[in-house]
Amino acid sequence: MNNNHAHMNGNSTAHVKVRPASHAGSWYSDAPGELDQQLSGWLRDAGSNIGSARAIISPEQLINSHGSDAFEWMSTRNEEAEHSLEMQMPFIAKIMERCRPLGSFKIVPILVGSLSTTRQQFYGRIFANYLADPTNLFVISSDFCHWGQRFRYTPTESAGARPIYEQITTLDKQGMDAISTLDPSMFNEYLKKTQNTICGRNPICVLLQAFNHYQQTNNVTAELRFLKYAQSNKVRSLTDSSVSYAAGALFINPRN
């Protein structure tokens, strides 16, 4: 759904543009029944509810006065070429099945480009207001390390060291540890040092900045916990490649 042109009026929808699910049949099943069964199974396998998260970091692979100055509408061409939202939609649709009618909740897609620290802080201040509302959920679409010659990123230890996939795990775990501090400067320093190819690094930084601003005026405790980590391939040579996936959740509670 392209929300630029959507307007709900009772049971009718006027001026609606429907975005084609261009990755259906390749990155996820294009058969509705099969996809529903897969999603139900994955959610069941995930186990018990771990709490009410205010934000999540989700892998892409199976994903006011500030207004006019700070944001702009994406062109249809660019929006359709960007796959991050589409990768999240099957899960969001499944989780929100209970919210009927469909107009009872809204999805606001936001594309975050390359940002300086100053701009991260700027947007963090804006989104802090929305993070303060417990009825909102931020979904950060991001994979972790993209390792391999096709990604132009192949850092390795000296010859005879640990297998490369173990080195990638260490690299990613360091990034997760930095994010878990909820200190944006720690994560930015990690990125500067390692240049790790975390595709959602900018929205993650904006989320950390948003919490930083929110925390300044609210007496809360918080934890950003990573729940699952995996790699698409166990890299053993420089000719291999892999993408890392990490799922995390931000929990915020009033301080007693």
For the stretch 92-137, pLDDT in tens is 777 778 766 666 788 888 989 899 999 999 999 999 999 999 999 9
The residues pairing with 81 across neighbouring beta strands, listed in sequence order, are none
pLDDT tens digits along 175-217: 999 999 999 999 999 999 999 999 999 999 999 999 999 999 9
- pLDDT number for residue 75: 53
Bin 26: left if φ > 0, else alpha if -120 < ψ < 50, else beta. Answer: alpha
Residue 249 φ then ψ, to 5°: -140, 140
Bin 131: left if φ > 0, else alpha if -120 < ψ < 50, else beta. Answer: alpha
- pLDDT number for residue 50: 66
Task: Give the Cα separation of 109 and 76 in Å (integer).
Answer: 13
**Quick check: 245 pLDDT over 90?**
yes
C-alpha torsion 117→122→124→127, nearest 10: -150
Q: Across all residues in the chain, what is the average pLDDT? A: 81
Name the CATH superfamily housing domain 53-71+112-256. LigB-like (3.40.830.10)
The residues pairing with 231 across neighbouring beta strands, listed in sequence order, are 244
Q: Is the pTM above the cut of 0.85? A: no
- pLDDT number for residue 65: 29
Q: Higher model confidence: residue 182 or residue 52?
A: 182
- pLDDT number for residue 36: 77
- pLDDT number for residue 173: 98
Confidence label for 22 from pLDDT (cuts 50, 70 and 90) = low
Over the range 201-231, which residues count as b (16 or more CB within 10 Å of their CB) and which as e? Answer: bbbbbbbbbbbbbbbeeeeeebebebeebeb
% residues pLDDT > 90 (the chain): 54
Specify burial of residue 114 (Cβ count, 10 A radius: 0-12, 13-18, 19+).
exposed
Helix (H, G, I), strand (E, B) or coil at 14: strand
- Give the type of residue at 163: P
Sorted by where each begins, the domain ranges of the chain are 1-48+75-109, 53-71+112-256
The residues pairing with 24 across neighbouring beta strands, listed in sequence order, are 28
The residues pairing with 32 across neighbouring beta strands, listed in sequence order, are none
